[in-house]
Amino acid sequence: MYRLVAGPEAGAEAARARALAVLRIRGAALGVALVPAAVAVVLLVGGLTGRIGRADPVTSSGGWDTARWAVTGIALVVLLLAALVTAVVVRARPALSPSVPIAESSAPDLYRLVRDLADRLEVPAPSAIALTPDCDSWLEDRTHRAHTPPRGRAARGGGGAGARDGARAEQAPVLVIGSPFMWWMRVAELRALLAPVVAGTGPSANPDIAAARRFVRGLDAAVAVSARAKSPLTAPAPAFVGWVARLLLRACREHALEMERCVAAAASERAQSVDYGLRIVAQEQVGLAYAGWDRLLTRVALPAWRMGRWPSRLDAGVVSALTELSRRDRLAEGFASRLGERPACDLLEEPGAVDRAASLLAARLFHGGPAEPGPDWSPVGWQQYPEEVVDRKWRQEAARLHRVLDALPPEPAEGAQPSRPPAAPERPARPECRIPHPAPQSPEEQSPGPQPTGPKASGPQPSGPGPQGPGPPGRSPRRRGSGPPIPDRRVPVRRWYGSSSA
């Protein structure tokens, strides 16, 4: 119904309609929880006013009193369970993507670029900016009380866009940018790439869409809380909360997915007016950065992580690798001209410190390393990488090869008879069809007898079995003048070792 989006306004309205559908599911769940309480209130008020049952205790039956107290007990139990589910959904901490926060004081040019982009798109500016060691960018809602920093610390770190836009900007999501983009992209390419992402703050400012997102994130966090409960004494309560949360998630899944699709479609439609042609070139650089980042992590960073060392300049490393590739590849001659433009990392005041923090976060995310450096988890620069990682790896491989060679048995000395290996059991020979040899003949048969003379000598001489009887054993019948004897096609009997009929 809402799949066809003609413009940003139509997409925002479709997303709002889907958000209202999610909120109706939340209201229906609340109404189901309040039905027993409403019935109990009606029975109690009817009993007090005399409209349900009789006021005379002598003539009144005990059926209404039993029903009244039974419904009241059920209502209390349902209300307690509903309060438990509501408390877990509201207080559960939603999942937060690990990132490196960027204060406005450490990147004023970057904040200025994002604000100018938001003004051109006529949407609220993001409340803050963060970097993540991934080739992606998105908006993340961090309005939950567990994610909100104290007021004093927020004031010391610079309010960012929150001080500029007031209460509306405090509810704006956080812009998360992939750190490889900051180092490989040029400033114009980064602005074109972030345009559809920043445009998503417009629908996010809608109260209905924001409430629907908070409800869905709360349900997801409640499911995670119920999965982490392992105590056998408190297991029933989290299990019930998880069952209710999963039931509500299944009910609103389709509406939530369509809401996010409509928000993305509206943001993309709105961002077409800002650097649309340059965005195509930026998308090509996204694929190149993703390939270089993946190869750098798997081929270069992973061996160092396994040795307890983490490269401290991963983003600079991927830029060096991609720059060398662009200069060597003849197909990338068009990309070499862009290297003279201003890189996006110049928007940061201290790119080296940010790269170091992003590299440490990448080691923790992709390898499970410690969150802080230590004696067994120390950084390594690209100048020391060949000596401290490559040479060390080769020495470890050589030591392992020596251990394998030392474990082999020694070779026999000269003149000593080598010990025979244990003889393998003989295997039965394969049956073959062999030509049988002619049977030996007696001297009388071998001595030539008197040759017949006369007309009988010219007649055919019988050879082989016929009416005169069978011929010698092992011979096949043949005719005179038919060539060599025909081999016997009978297959000899296979004899197995260990059989009784050997």
Cβ atoms of 98 and 66 closer than 8 Å: no
CA 112, 118, 119: angle at the middle one, nearest 5?
90
Gap between the Cα atoms of 39 and 296, Å rounded: 65
Residue whose C-alpha is closest to residue 348's, from 98, 99, 101? 101
Gap between the Cα atoms of 282 and 192, Å rounded: 7
Cβ atoms of 186 and 343 closer than 8 Å: yes
Gap between the Cα atoms of 196 and 273, Å rounded: 10
Query: For the chain, how far is it from start to end, CA to CA, in angstroms?
Result: 85
Cβ atoms of 209 and 15 closer than 8 Å: yes
Cβ atoms of 169 and 125 closer than 8 Å: yes
pLDDT score recorded for residue 9: 79
Q: What is the pTM of this model?
A: 0.71
Cβ atoms of 347 and 110 closer than 8 Å: yes
Residue matched to tokens 């904040």: 111
pLDDT tens, N- to C-terminus, the chain (502 residues)? 444 445 677 888 999 999 999 999 999 999 999 999 999 999 888 877 877 765 555 545 567 788 888 999 999 999 999 999 999 999 998 888 999 999 999 999 999 999 999 999 999 999 999 999 999 999 998 887 766 655 444 444 444 444 444 444 456 899 999 999 999 999 999 999 999 999 999 988 899 999 999 999 999 999 999 888 776 667 788 899 999 999 999 999 999 999 999 999 999 999 988 888 888 888 888 988 999 999 999 999 999 999 999 999 999 999 988 887 776 665 455 666 777 788 999 999 999 999 999 999 999 999 988 888 888 899 999 999 989 888 888 888 888 888 888 888 877 766 555 555 555 555 555 554 444 445 455 444 444 444 444 444 444 444 444 444 444 444 444 444 445 555 555 545 444 444 444 3
Cβ atoms of 475 and 464 closer than 8 Å: yes
Burial of 398 (0-12, 13-18, 19+ CB in 10 A): exposed
Could you tell me the residue ranges of all domains in the chain? Answer: 282-402
Query: What SS3 state is found at 15?
Result: helix
pLDDT score recorded for residue 433: 46
Backbone angles phi, psi at 423, to 5 degrees: -70, 135
